[in-house]
Chain A
């Protein structure tokens, strides 16, 4: 063919639709960097960057919907030599990530303006991170998971430290970076060991190898499994790998915290579930006890740790650890029901977290100065609507029925009940920690409804702008709608799990 007669190498075929959601977000990020290089005036730069970001998110969502329809008719498929899986699961998680990203972008505008930070860079980093999350949801190869994980994490390190004038933000960024890099290295070592044990980094390849060959010596594989769990445990903020969570959630700019709690958690859980179910589905008896322990620790640490906090952001950080425990209850069930319940939980928790942190961001005021519980005293008289919205979201996080939080918990508990055995114990522990966590939520709610005393300094909270308002309304509305009529979401999660490529 070619003049020198060299044998041509077959490059992997690319299904453009399969990579479109990831690529479009990344393109939008690059586009923002490009136009920032051209446009120098801040007054023009931010609005135009916002438009590019919006277009990127919308196009990515359109691509996801197109994928969904294609998967519905033709079934799941892989592309890029099995590196990328396109199935209901990846699309569902992708949807959650996109919604969370859109919300975080909406929250960001006001925040950036308030703190006088550079906007376009922020948006570019967030979109880049989100594209990594989408890649993570469909990564079907351990190397792809690792690369996606890093695409998620590296922009996040910067985002956490984005407010460079505030030393707490820098400190949070530093902590997140050091522990995140450490976790990545641990995860990667797990990947290397798994590769050594099975001779493949592809999830399907590993599964095939394990189903054909009975390993005489399972040590390497188990070590690999444990190390991968540790690495991903860091990312999902599961105890005992949660140490960074309170500090980072507190120090990071609030919109970034919202983004991390909702989208990052969803993406990291997606990777965890796919690795466990696709690659190691056959040896679930190996990882179920490990997840059981992780779940118990997360539930306990998350709920009890929250009780002794005095800062609302830290409380919510611990509650996020607690929620990771609940999701793990679903994951450890090892069943299809477990996956769909974890998906439902992730979707519901995503908007609960975004809404809660949005409100905290408003109350904390300029400089994210103070999210201390004292600051919330008497909020109901100053901001009646805001305090009711926060109360609703907190009750939902506590799992009160007729809110979305109950549906989420009900799902994971029925998955546990369906799995039977020790899962019942786990479910009981889960419910009891929910009661402990409820104490924390009620404490916040009660503080809001306690009138501020004479001596309390009442700092003016910033105004609720359009973007923040939309996010709060959106999450509150979903909380009630899904709480009363969960059929649509449950059906979607069910459908997504049926199309889970294994």
Chain B
């Protein structure tokens, strides 16, 4: 196999892994979640806000999720360059990144413990 194809092999492996991961997550979700069909769940904008009275005040919760998402999204800015050079950077960089992610995780844990993630 040429070098050229070997590179693409990595892509293929990643593609399969990604598909598998998504499948596994959905499958596990299907196994775990309760199944109680209700008519309200089929209305558009089901998740909390009332479609009739328009864009109300009650959707503050979305912000919390958006904020959390932004924080973890930005994490990627540092993780990408780090990941590309991981081998060259050595162990100390690995430790640094672990610490970094731990700090971010701590934030998430804190938010969870404060009850921010609870919907109702």
Q: How far is the CB of A44 from chain B (nearest CB, A)?
A: 14
For B81-120 the 0/1 string (1 means CB < 8 A from A) is 0000101111011000000000100110110010000000
Q: How far is the CA of A463 from the CA of B81 in the complex (A)?
A: 55
Q: Which residues of A contact B85 (CB under 8 A)?
A: 9
Q: How far is the CA of A11 from the CA of B107 in the complex (A)?
A: 27
Q: How far is the CA of A9 from the CA of B90 in the complex (A)?
A: 8
Kindly identify which residue among A6, A30, A33, A40 contacts B88, using a CB–CB cutoff of 8 Å.
A6
Q: Would you call the interface of chain A mostly helix, strand, loop, or mixed?
A: loop
Residue of A nearest to B107 (CB): A33
Kindly identify which residue among B87, B110, B113 contacts A2, using a CB–CB cutoff of 8 Å.
B87
The reply to whether the CB of A34 lies closer than 8 angstroms to some CB of chain B is: yes
Q: How far is the CA of A40 from the CA of B115 in the complex (A)?
A: 11
For A390-415 the 0/1 string (1 means CB < 8 A from B) is 00000000000000000000000000
Q: Which residues of A contact B87 (CB under 8 A)?
A: 2, 4, 6
Q: How far is the CB of B92 from chain A (nearest CB, A)?
A: 6
For A1-31 the 0/1 string (1 means CB < 8 A from B) is 0101011110100000000000000000010
Q: How far is the CA of A100 from the CA of B60 in the complex (A)?
A: 36
Q: Which residues of B contact A9 (CB under 8 A)?
A: 85, 88-89
For A37-51 the 0/1 string (1 means CB < 8 A from B) is 100100000000000
Instruction: Determine whether the beta carbon of A30 is less than 8 Å from that of B109.
Output: no
Residue of A nearest to B102 (CB): A30
Q: Which residues of A contact B103 (CB under 8 A)?
A: 30
Q: How far is the CB of A423 from chain B (nearest CB, A)?
A: 46
Q: Given A2-B87, A4-B87, A9-B85, are A33 and B110 also a contact pair (CB < 8 Å)? A: yes
The reply to whether the CB of A242 lies closer than 8 angstroms to some CB of chain B is: no
The reply to whether the CB of A36 lies closer than 8 angstroms to some CB of chain B is: yes
Residue of B nearest to A7 (CB): B88
Q: How far is the CB of A123 from chain B (nearest CB, A)?
A: 14
Q: Which residues of B contact A8 (CB under 8 A)?
A: 88-90
Q: Would you call the interface of chain B mostly helix, strand, loop, or mixed?
A: helix
Instruction: Determine whether the beta carbon of A11 is less than 8 Å from that of B110.
Output: no
Q: How far is the CA of A2 from the CA of B87 in the complex (A)?
A: 8
Q: How far is the CA of A436 from the CA of B110 in the complex (A)?
A: 50
Instruction: Determine whether the beta carbon of B89 is less than 8 Å from that of A37.
Output: no
Instruction: Determine whether the beta carbon of B90 is less than 8 Å from that of A30.
Output: no
Number of A-B contacts (CB under 8 A): 31
Q: Which residues of B contact A34 (CB under 8 A)?
A: 106, 110
Instruction: Determine whether the beta carbon of B90 is less than 8 Å from that of A37.
Output: no
Kindly identify which residue among A11, A30, A37 contacts B113, using a CB–CB cutoff of 8 Å.
A37
Q: How large is the interface on B (under 10, 10 to 19, 20 to 34, 35 or more residues)?
A: 10 to 19
Q: Which residues of B contact A40 (CB under 8 A)?
A: 113
Q: Which residues of B contact A30 (CB under 8 A)?
A: 103, 106
Q: How far is the CA of A40 from the CA of B103 in the complex (A)?
A: 20
**From residue 62 to 94 of chain B, which have CB atoms closer than 8 A to chain A?**
85, 87-90, 92-93
Q: Which residues of B contact A7 (CB under 8 A)?
A: 88
Residue of B nearest to A2 (CB): B87
Instruction: Determine whether the beta carbon of A37 is less than 8 Å from that of B110.
Output: yes
Q: How far is the CA of A272 from the CA of B103 in the complex (A)?
A: 31
Q: How far is the CB of A36 from chain B (nearest CB, A)?
A: 7
Q: How far is the CA of A11 from the CA of B88 in the complex (A)?
A: 10
Q: How far is the CB of B4 from chain A (nearest CB, A)?
A: 18
Q: Given A2-B87, A4-B87, A6-B87, are A36 and B110 also a contact pair (CB < 8 Å)? A: yes
Instruction: Determine whether the beta carbon of B106 is less than 8 Å from that of A37.
Output: yes
Q: Which residues of A contact B106 (CB under 8 A)?
A: 30, 33-34, 37
Q: How far is the CA of A9 from the CA of B89 in the complex (A)?
A: 5
For A432-474 the 0/1 string (1 means CB < 8 A from B) is 0000000000000000000000000000000000000000000
Residue of A nearest to B103 (CB): A30
Q: Which residues of A contact B92 (CB under 8 A)?
A: 11
Q: How far is the CA of A8 from the CA of B107 in the complex (A)?
A: 33
Q: Which residues of A contact B110 (CB under 8 A)?
A: 33-34, 36-37
Q: How far is the CB of A188 from chain B (nearest CB, A)?
A: 16
Q: How far is the CA of A36 from the CA of B119 in the complex (A)?
A: 21
Q: How far is the CB of A147 from chain B (nearest CB, A)?
A: 13
**From residue 27 to 74 of chain B, which have CB atoms closer than 8 A to chain A?**
none
Q: How far is the CB of B71 from chain A (nearest CB, A)?
A: 12
Q: How far is the CA of A40 from the CA of B114 in the complex (A)?
A: 9
Q: Which residues of B contact A2 (CB under 8 A)?
A: 87-88, 90
Q: Which residues of B contact A11 (CB under 8 A)?
A: 89-90, 92-93
Residue of B nearest to A36 (CB): B110
Q: How far is the CA of A190 from the CA of B13 in the complex (A)?
A: 46
Q: How far is the CB of A92 from chain B (nearest CB, A)?
A: 30
Q: Which residues of B contact A33 (CB under 8 A)?
A: 106-107, 110
Residue of B87, B90, B107 ringed by the most chain A CB atoms within 10 A: B87
Q: How far is the CB of B38 from chain A (nearest CB, A)?
A: 34
Residue of A nearest to B112 (CB): A37
Q: How far is the CB of B112 from chain A (nearest CB, A)?
A: 8
Residue of A11, A33, A34, A37 ringed by the most chain B CB atoms within 10 A: A37
- Report which B residues bind A (CB closer than 8 A): 85, 87-90, 92-93, 103, 106-107, 109-110, 113
Between-chain CB contacts (< 8 Å), 26 pairs: A2-B87, A2-B90, A4-B87, A6-B87, A6-B88, A8-B88, A8-B89, A8-B90, A9-B88, A9-B89, A11-B89, A11-B90, A11-B92, A11-B93, A30-B103, A30-B106, A33-B106, A33-B107, A33-B110, A34-B106, A36-B110, A37-B106, A37-B109, A37-B110, A37-B113, A40-B113
Q: Contacts A6-B87, A9-B85, A9-B88 known; list 6 others, CB within 8 Å.
A: A2-B88, A4-B87, A6-B88, A7-B88, A8-B89, A30-B106
Q: What 10 A-B pairs come out closest when comparing CB atoms? A: A37-B113, A9-B88, A6-B87, A6-B88, A37-B110, A37-B109, A8-B88, A33-B110, A9-B89, A2-B87
